[in-house]
Amino acid sequence: MTTPPASAEVPKTSAKPNRRYLKATLAGGAGGLITVLVFLLEERPELAQTLIDRVLVAWGPQFVIVLVLLAFLYLLADRYAPRLISAQSDTALALQNLARSVEQLVSRDDAFRREQDVLLNHVARRVDSLHKLFDSHRRSLNGHLSRLTRQSRKPKPPRKKTG
């Protein structure tokens, strides 16, 4: 298998997690949750009370564990996603090169087959026309030979002598 050219290589990214995106995501998520809770407390306090009772109180420490797990999964994705993406990019480039090679082989094979068909059909037509030509010459020659044979069987009139 061939390696991709240097121009097609994907630049290596650092495996260090990007804390800026983590902070922005957590701040956005927390801000969204607080906004929803404030909205519910102002507009529908009974729904907000039910939500707080069912989620925070009923889940208790499970709610905190789920939040910690989500943060941990985000950190894992932030740390290993660049490596996975670069590996997937390398695999995609290798598959693209393989597909290009196979396409070239197929097009060469098709071109060779078309060329063979064109040449062989042309040669076959020429041989066929030569066969017909020889057959017509053979019939013509046979006709002349049979006429000559018939004439040689007939008695020839004697030649007159001059002189």
Q: What is the pLDDT of residues 54-81, one digit of tens each?
A: 877 777 788 788 888 988 888 888 788 7
pLDDT-derived band at 100 (thresholds 50, 70, 90) equals very high
Q: What is the 3-class SS of 52-109, one letter each residue? A: HHHHHHHHCHHHHHHHHHHHHHHHHHHHHHHHHHHHHHHHHHHHHHHHHHHHHHHHHH
Q: What is the mean pLDDT of residues 121-138?
A: 87
40/131 Cα distance (integer angstroms): 97
> Which burial class, exposed, middle or buried, applies to 78 when counting CB atoms under 10 A from its CB (0-12, 13-18, 19+)?
middle
Q: What is the mean pLDDT of residues 111-134?
A: 81
The per-residue pLDDT for 10 is 47
The pLDDT mean for the chain works out to 79
Token pair listed for 150: 């018939």
Question: How confident is the model over 4-20, as pLDDT tens digits?
Answer: 554 445 455 554 556 77
The per-residue pLDDT for 95 is 93
